[in-house]
Homo-oligomer: A and B are copies of this chain.
């Protein structure tokens, strides 16, 4: 089924919510407005901050915001942030975790073509394409609107 993690699924919901605002949002705030339970939202946001997609501020009035212009974030990045490198099987040239017969193993490296193809296609889907309004808006307008919101958030 080539399923994505449920956490990744929620992450997109939460990120879309974050795309709609123009300031730092707390985990509790995002949980309320997205409907995803707080502990889960918290887990997601922590991970996204760790991998550099979001930035966080502690203390009173703290919260999360995008660490860089959201229009430049691809789905490949989001998925990799929550699930680690995209690799459809354990036996991939980069990951060391192959079987014990690496030298003569008949499937060594076979899946690379598939990994590369998937990776490439995910690079080309942007996070902001996941917004429902993306379907009705001109892509350039969408990019501009999102960029404005992000600028406002950075200023605040």
Contact = CB atoms under 8 A, between A and B. Distances in A.
Given A13-B106, A118-B118, A121-B121, A113 B89 contact: no
A62 interface: no
A144 interface: no
Contacts of A132: 106, 108-110
A71 to B, nearest CB: 15
A99 to B, nearest CB: 10
Contacts of A142: none
In the assembly, how many copies of this chain are there?
Answer: 2
Nearest to A10: B107
Given A89-B9, A107-B9, A107-B13, A75 B114 contact: yes
Given A107-B12, A110-B130, A130-B111, A4 B88 contact: yes
A98 to B, nearest CB: 12
20 contacts: A1-B87, A2-B2, A2-B86, A2-B87, A2-B88, A2-B118, A3-B87, A4-B88, A4-B89, A13-B107, A16-B107, A109-B132, A110-B130, A111-B130, A113-B130, A114-B125, A117-B122, A117-B125, A118-B122, A120-B121
